[in-house]
């Protein structure tokens, strides 16, 4: 595919959406064609899956098995790639995605304790071969992230309502993924101002895109 996929990852309230919007506007301002999207829920089918996955009334312990959760997030991803991400990449665009495979590994692997090898096998099937070119991991203690979410919307969804250990395990799994894939990840200390976080992303994205496109010439 001619385009590039950039993903933004992190726990809730780490500032992913804020930074995805800024990144989109920066890349457009320097002449790139960009599409910004998110998971879960960017397609018609995805909206329905998102409703099931995040609804606080979906009972964690009995009605939604962790494997069901994994498969629903993955189904959302396949449809998202098929309908939106792959066609935009084919056109040569830069696609910025707010959460992608690493969220599944972190939440369903680190949080729900599902087998990581099984999750990787599911990723191979669900991603239709699309992998991120660069991933920005916005790292933050979960207590601070959840506080930001509460200040923003005054209520938590089904996953956000899990206990603090669950969120700490997710953060640890994200950091482990970054350690295992240093060529793809940049970890950013997001317990900082929005401007600071964006400055780090901006400097990095400018460098990696320049390097990538000068190699292609
Ligand atoms: N999930 C999963 O389990 N498995 C998967 O495979 C996938 C997802 C794909 C999606 O929720 C849920 O699904 C998520 C993971 C799970 N659940 N949990 N828990 P979502 O899409 O509804 O929500 P989110 O992705 O967690 O986003 P969020 O809560 O909206 O957070 P955010 O995008 O990282 O942050 P934000 O919206 O940019 O900022 C939040 C607030 O903080 C806002 O008021 C900002 O103004 C403020 N903010 C942002 N940056 C800063 C800084 N630097 N300083 C201070 N305040 C800031």
Each residue's pLDDT tens digit in the chain (217 positions)?
799 999 999 999 999 999 999 999 999 999 999 999 999 999 999 999 999 998 867 655 557 899 999 999 999 999 999 999 999 999 999 999 999 999 999 999 999 999 999 999 999 999 999 999 999 999 999 999 999 999 998 888 888 888 899 999 999 999 999 999 999 999 999 999 999 999 999 999 999 999 999 988 7
Name the residue of 10, 18, 55, 171 to mutate for ligand 1: max ligand atoms within 8 A of Cβ: 18
Number of domains comprising the chain: 1
- Per-position b or e across 7-24, b if 16+ CB within 10 A of its CB: bbbbbbbbbbebbbebbb
CA–CA distance, 11 with 141 (Å, rounded to integer): 9
Residue nearest to atom 6 of ligand 1 (CA): 104
How many A from CA of 9 to the centre of ligand 1? 9
The reported pLDDT for the residue numbered 170 is: 98
The reported pLDDT for the residue numbered 62 is: 56
Residue 150, helix vs strand vs coil = helix
The reported pLDDT for the residue numbered 59 is: 57
Residue 67 sits in a domain whose CATH number is: 3.40.50.300
CA within 13 Å, CB half, 197: 25
The reported pLDDT for the residue numbered 110 is: 97
- The full 3-state SS of 47-66, as one line of letters, equals HHHHHHHHCCCCCCCCCCCH
Residue nearest to atom 44 of ligand 1 (CA): 152
Lining residues, ligand 1, CB within 6 Å? 10, 12-18, 39-40, 54, 73, 99, 103-104, 107-108, 148-149, 152, 159-160, 190, 192-194, 197
Residue nearest to atom 31 of ligand 1 (CA): 13
The reported pLDDT for the residue numbered 120 is: 98
Provide the domain limits for residue 171.
4-216
Name the residue of 78, 80, 99, 120 to mutate for ligand 1: max ligand atoms within 8 A of Cβ: 99
């Amino acid at each position: 595919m001619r385009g590039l996929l950039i993903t933004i990852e992190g726990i809730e309230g780490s500032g992913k959406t804020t930074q995805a919007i800024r990144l989109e506007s920066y890349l457009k301002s320097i002449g790139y064609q960009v599409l910004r999207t998110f998971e879960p829920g960017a397609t018609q089918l995805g909206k329905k899956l998102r409703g099931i996955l995040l609804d606080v009334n979906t009972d964690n312990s009995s009605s939604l098995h962790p494997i069901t959760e994994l498969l629903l997030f993955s189904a959302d991803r396949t449809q998202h790639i098929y309908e939106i991400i792959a066609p935009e990449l084919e056109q040569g665009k830069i696609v910025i995605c707010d959460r992608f495979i690493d969220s599944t590994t972190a939440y369903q692997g680190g949080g729900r304790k599902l087998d990581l090898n099984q999750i990787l096998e599911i990723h191979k099937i669900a991603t239709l071969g699309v992998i991120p070119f660069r991933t920005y991991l916005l790292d933050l203690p979960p207590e601070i992230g959840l506080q930001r979410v509460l200040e923003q919307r005054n209520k938590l969804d089904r996953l956000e309502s899990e206990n603090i250990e669950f969120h700490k395990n997710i953060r640890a799994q994200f950091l482990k993924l970054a350690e295992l894939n240093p060529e793809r990840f940049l970890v950013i200390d997001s317990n900082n101002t929005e401007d600071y976080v964006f400055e780090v992303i901006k400097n990095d994205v400018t460098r990696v895109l320049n390097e990538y496109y000068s190699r292609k010439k």
